[in-house]
Structure 1
């Protein structure tokens, strides 16, 4: 199925007709005959979309929508309310109740499915955000984003500057976001120079003819605006261009001449969705960081280092450029923990990690490989360069105390280093696991020979 939809109407015939229309597009449709039942089903099913009639028998669609949006379990589910075509008050009431959309009677099948597709896209983001928030709370992460506390930016692109100015005048005092006006033929240039908005309100005739629709594709194709909200203003009779706008990636439609209050409410909904999308991207980035970074030192962890090392090795084999691999182990680290405690040991690890970072290039891989052991991989590095860097790292670690205990005792540590070379021209590339074994044996040799030294692994370029 393309997604699950819960529909509610106290008239059985209306429910059946709507179900047939949606089922023909392969949506999984569940029916509810009353407001109480739709509320119960919504909590249990968590559908991708809820469509409510204005009259549910035991309550209005507006009341049901308000309850759905106030319930943490169902607040993220998009809701559409079916209203009479010419009832402006009902449309505004639907949006004020928290509805993401209103659908007007009679329900045209093409318009219905186009609107549903747009709402389903919004549902996917909301559902993923909900899922990640629940996971974060389960893991004890309760960080609250302040994205919603700051005004967003809205750019208006009318068919004429005068039209855009009339939109801005209607929105004045009704939205707290920054509003700017841009010409259609200057919009992409402005984005190129970094002038990017959260929402774009675009006339379908911006720039002449249907050029406004082309802007949708341009905005969706650019990284800076790929997730921006797009609202298209179209003529009342331009059904074809309106449906095309939704399928090109527009988030919402507004009929030209709509009440400023309607535009305000729709823009608020789209701004919330844009900030939801931004928050989702932040959680994705943070999830990637947590998955690939060592929590204590901030260095890459072993999970990240191994595939990255494989990539460096493969590129070295293709280019014939040598690369260096080092395993670094802090000498007598257990004694530090046993003597001063784990808090001091952690401080030593953090400082050693910082000294490693400070003495390597941005292109070099630096990772905590486990415990007090670190892995360094330096692409495009000769043996001579690698030995010089290894000695510099060894010296940097033991040059001065890594930390001072609460009692004022300086704690100085040294490190043993095992060095192996891969990708040397004239030799065959070593498999990374074999190269790691060579570096590990060299590290063992450094330890056996008295510690605090660099040992080059034998046959490291074989």
Structure 2
């Protein structure tokens, strides 16, 4: 399944219609007919997303949202509230109640699924942060401090400088982050020189017709801004423009001319999410780093990877999700050491680790599993997605020399990859030893069949 969604509405017809739309997109949908039932199911099922109608019979959707966000067990789950049409006050109330999104009636299927995909991405990041903290706790280390009080930085990129200035004026007193204004044609230059923001508010028409949408792709393609929050301001009637923005990687949308309070509330939510994403890249503490990091490559080591994978398996079973595990081994690495020396071999390992890290998502675990072998764990990943990523990793390793020796000799290496799928349904294994054994056999088969290739475990063919 692509993810688990809980929908709550006291009108059976509404629930059925929404379930049909979401099930058609291959989401696993659970229904609740009241607010109390929704709260109980959220605590029990821990879905990836909760969608609440504004009226749940026994309480309002806003009240249910406030209770979900005040419960440590459910506060991390994104919540969307379905609001009546043509009710700006209802939208603001939903955001004030802690909702991550509101959906206006009547629900358009394409807009619904686009919004759901965006919220699922946010859920995956939050879930991975908690998973890493739980792994650290299992290893005996304290959890990362989850404090987001430090002001962030927001860059406004309007279709004109005047538009950006009007946004800043509207946000005055409601957002306490540092706000700057930048022209669309100067943004990438500023990033190149290290002028980085946490959030970018981009007009879809910034720089010209739909050039703002192209800017989203540029921001997502750069290491420095890959995890930045992106909020797109779009035309009121242009649904295609909005959907394109979400699919290009925007985190949120604001309709041009919306109430400044709505923009402020949305920016606060995105800033919180950005701070959570930043925590994924930080070392939990110095002791944890020394105990769980490989000294040469800086990657997690086997000591960290095993309990993390066990945690991932448990959550996948609970949530009925699939995940991927890869064992990656550098081909003929011994000959690199024998021919060029261990210093060159170390340089190769460092460069391969860097290429793997730069290619994977923040939510994916990358560890040096021993010697020239690496482990990759990818939560919420289908077989099709895993195969594509594995091929991309294999290609990036051998695409150019990993290092050049002192005498100018380029050293190029390849890698063999064994892939195994885990999950709670079908024939996939749920035992860590079995899972690693399948991946190891697949890796051995890749070596035997000529190296520099990806091989699936036998059950996954």
User: TM class, shorter-chain normalised?
Assistant: 0.5 to 0.7
1:201-280 mapped onto 2 (5 Å cutoff): 201-280=201-280
User: Offset of 1:133 from its aligned partner?
Assistant: 2.4
Matches within 5 A, 1:6-405: 6-145=6-145, 148-283=148-283, 290-293=291-294, 313-317=334-338, 320-323=339-342
What is the DSSP-based 3-state SS (H/G/I as helix, E as strand, rest coil) of the residue aligned with 2:148? Answer: helix
Indicate if the aligned counterparts of 2:232 and 2:245 stay in contact, CA closer than 8 A: yes
Q: 1:60 to 1:146 in 2, by over 3 A?
A: closer
Partner Cα separation in structure 2 for residue 82 and residue 132 of structure 1: 32
Name the structure, 1 or 2, with higher relative contact order (CA <8 Å, separation 6+): 2
Q: Distance in 2 between matches of 1:210 and 1:231?
A: 14
Q: CA deviation at 1:172?
A: 1.0
TM-score where L is the length of structure 1: 0.65
Tell me the distance in 2 between the aligned counterparts of 1:302 and 1:25: 37
CA distance in 1, matches of 2:343, 2:74: 54
Distance 2:269 2:191 in 1: 23
How far is 1:309 from its partner? 12
CA separation of 1:95 and 1:176: change in aligned 2, threshold 3 A? same
1:203 and 1:117 mapped to 2: Cα distance?
A: 21
* Distance across 1 between alignment mates of 2:185 and 2:157: 10
Greater than 6 Å deviation, 4+ residue runs: 284-288, 300-304, 307-312, 361-365
Specify the SS of the correspondent of 2:336. Answer: helix
Tell me, which stretches of 5 or more residues in structure 1 are unaligned?
326-360, 366-376, 378-462
Alignment gaps of 5+ in structure 2: 305-327, 351-370, 372-461
Any conservation in 2 of the 1:147–1:279 contact (CA below 8 Å)? no
CA contact (8 A) 1:132 1:283 kept: no
Q: SS of 1:19's equivalent?
A: helix
- Alignment CA distance shift 1:105-1:321 (3 Å): same
Name the CA distance, whole Å, in 2 between partners of 1:309 and 1:22: 42
- Under a length normalisation based on structure 2, what TM-score does the superposition of the two structures give? 0.65
- Number of residue equivalences: 325
Query: In structure 2, the residue corresponding to 1:174 is in which secondary structure?
Result: coil
Q: CA deviation at 1:148?
A: 1.1
Per-residue CA deviation, residues 368-390 of structure 1 (Å, 9 max, x unaligned), is: xxxxxxxxx9xxxxxxxxxxxxx
- Give the conservation status (yes or no) of the 8 Å contact 2:144–2:284: no
Cα-Cα RMSD: 3.2
- Secondary structure at 1:282's aligned position in 2? coil
Q: Distance in 2 between matches of 1:208 and 1:259?
A: 24
